[in-house]
Amino acid sequence: MRRILVTVTLLFGAALAFGQDITGDWQGTLSANGMELRLVLHISKAADGSMHGTLDSIDQNAMGMPISSISLKDSKLSLVFTTLGANYEGTVASDGKSISGTWKQGTNLALDFKRATNPVKTEPKPAKPSDIDGAWLGTADFGVVKLRVVFHIVNTEDGLVATMDSPDQGQKGLPTTSCTRDGAKLRIEAHSIGLVFEGRVAADLASIDGTLTQMGASHPLLLTRVKNEAELAPKRPQNPVKPYPYREEEVSYDNKVESVTLAATLTIPEGKGPFPGVVLITGSGPQDRDESLMGHKPFLVLSDYLTRRGIAVLRADDRGTGKSTGIFAEATTADFATDTEAGIAYLKSRPEVDAHKIGLIGHSEGGVIAPMVAARNKDVAFIVMMAGTGVPGDQVLVAQGEAIEMALGKSPEEAAKNAAKEKQMLNLIETERDQAALEKELKEIEGGSRSADGWIKQATSPWMRYFLTYDPQTALRKVTCPVLVINGSLDKQVLPSQNIPPIRRALEEAGNNRFEIDELPGLNHLFQTAKTGAPTEYAQIEETMSPLALEKISSWILKQ
């Protein structure tokens, strides 16, 4: 939750596609601000039928920008560009030779594509390696989190080209817009994420000392050569290794209410069923089925643990993420709840799953969704709330910001001052309906910094406006099935002291006498064993999920 994890958000993936064949290259021209930008779409199909693609902006020298999701149904094409904050909606002509549509990125612009008769190649040809060719690693301190950054530099006939990795987020190969060198000075730009690195190459060519700037904020960054890139992979000892002692299936199912197709993984225990089943519900932000974050895959570890103990598990890519269709940016928590209901319906259709023993496990925002669904679906057998909230989102975010800042060493006075500022901005978002006036007031509170623009766009999204005012107790007062509520004592994103008491009161008001609440000592928001609970630790901790939490969840479910 909150904007703490958006600093270098590099999201890749693609969705399942249906209908006409749109594989190949497509050319179009976008007229924006008096400029004519030539664009090229490259779309390919994997062996499993999923569609993948990239976008080149030739006149901006921005090549290979990833398409996060692709969906095609009844000639209606939807492309989502997460790193650009943009999407494209178009209609494929019946002859398959053109696409007419609209580019949406802050404003709506007409954009038509025509199929290229010959493959379009925009990649530069390699040339003799320069003295800085290779991989360069540094660690950037973004305040709430420290992330390793890797630049891969290659010399070509057109000059230096660079790509960027964020190993701690499990992301690789983000194309940069430009990589230029003037003597010892090096400058790398990535317009798609608003990032610039400026540094000086050391005389011995062993390091590049400089500054990384993103969204108006600058951070010192010292790059050193990487000799063995295999060492960059974070150690995650809990990730299961195949072959698994259970069945694993790639599946998909429809949310007919929202016209969304969810792509998922179903794991089924060995032996004779039917087995109890659970649907896993991810936290906020576009998440894949493993809830991948900071190099960790919490839902992969959790599903493996539960399936080995006799519980069937369904975990899906969020809509508009990975292989699922739909537009993530236009959805709210209530919309995501209908995706969960589609998952329940799918599990009911599987003979290996006991239709009377299907429950929900939700983490963070998923812990808000689980009670929403259980409150209106009496056949939900049980729910597990992992760091779910008990108060409206505006209260959660203010307390979260204050707690994180103190965990990072700020004084209580300074943290309280910033919390008051945060509360003022959130109140504005909730009450001011004039978008222009809202943006002006928010920028004034932020001090007019350029970094305000990116946050304002997120803060005024449909999801945020819903999240800020929704009271989870509304649904909790209607939940009568068994409930397990667990929180980590060191959670700085969903504070146990703020959220557990109202959750308890709401369940008591529901007349529910079948709930258990546990505050697990020493665990953070991801249920890792932590020192401070600050998000800066997430990537550095090798443990993905504490055995204490895994055992608590599985043993409680099996008792139901």
Nearest-Å Rg of the Cα atoms of the chain is 24
Mean pLDDT of 310-321: 95
SS3 content of the chain, % helix, strand, coil (to 5): 30, 35, 35
Q: What class is the 3-115 domain?
A: mainly beta
Q: Give the pLDDT band of residue 210 (cuts 50, 70, 90).
A: very high
* The pLDDT value given to residue 9: 31
Q: Token match 């990072």: residue?
A: 408
Considering the chain, tell me which residue range(s) the CATH 3.40.50.1820 domain(s) occupy: 246-391+471-559
Contact call for residues 427 and 444 (beta carbons, < 8 A): no
Return the top range by mean pLDDT from 19-28, 38-47, 114-123, 314-323.
314-323
Q: What are phi and psi of 331, to 5 degrees?
A: -100, 155
Considering the chain, tell me which residue range(s) the CATH 2.40.128.20 domain(s) occupy: 134-232
Sign of the C-alpha dihedral, residues 496, 293, 461, 441?
positive
Tens digit of each residue's pLDDT (9 = 90 or more) over 467-498:
999 999 999 999 999 999 999 999 999 999 99
Mean pLDDT of 133-155: 89
Considering the chain, tell me which residue range(s) the CATH 2.40.128.120 domain(s) occupy: 3-115
Q: Is the pLDDT of residue 399 over 50?
A: yes
Higher pLDDT, 190 or 106: 190
Strand order in the sheet with 35-45: 62-66, 51-57, 35-45, 24-32, 107-115, 98-105, 86-92, 76-81, 69-73
Minimum mean pLDDT range among 40-44, 58-62, 188-192, 281-285: 58-62
Residues whose CB is less than 8 angstroms from the CB of residue 222 and which lie 6 or more positions away in sequence, other chains included:
138, 207, 208, 209, 210
Q: Is the pLDDT of residue 454 over 60?
A: no
Q: Give the pLDDT band of residue 453 (cuts 50, 70, 90).
A: low
Residues paired with residue 198 on neighbouring β-strands, in sequence order: 187, 211
- Fold entry, domain 134-232: Lipocalin (2.40.128)
Return the top range by mean pLDDT from 70-79, 183-192, 442-451, 497-506.
497-506
Tens digit of each residue's pLDDT (9 = 90 or more) over 401-419:
999 999 888 899 999 999 9
Q: Give the pLDDT band of residue 389 (cuts 50, 70, 90).
A: very high
Q: Is the pLDDT of residue 11 over 60?
A: no
DSSP sequence for 330-375 = G--HHHHHHHHHHHHHHHHT-TTEEEEEEEEEEETTHHHHHHHHHH
Q: Is the pLDDT of residue 122 over 70?
A: no
Q: Is the pLDDT of residue 523 over 60?
A: yes
Q: Is the pLDDT of residue 14 over 60?
A: no
* The pLDDT value given to residue 16: 30
Q: What class is the 246-391+471-559 domain?
A: alpha beta
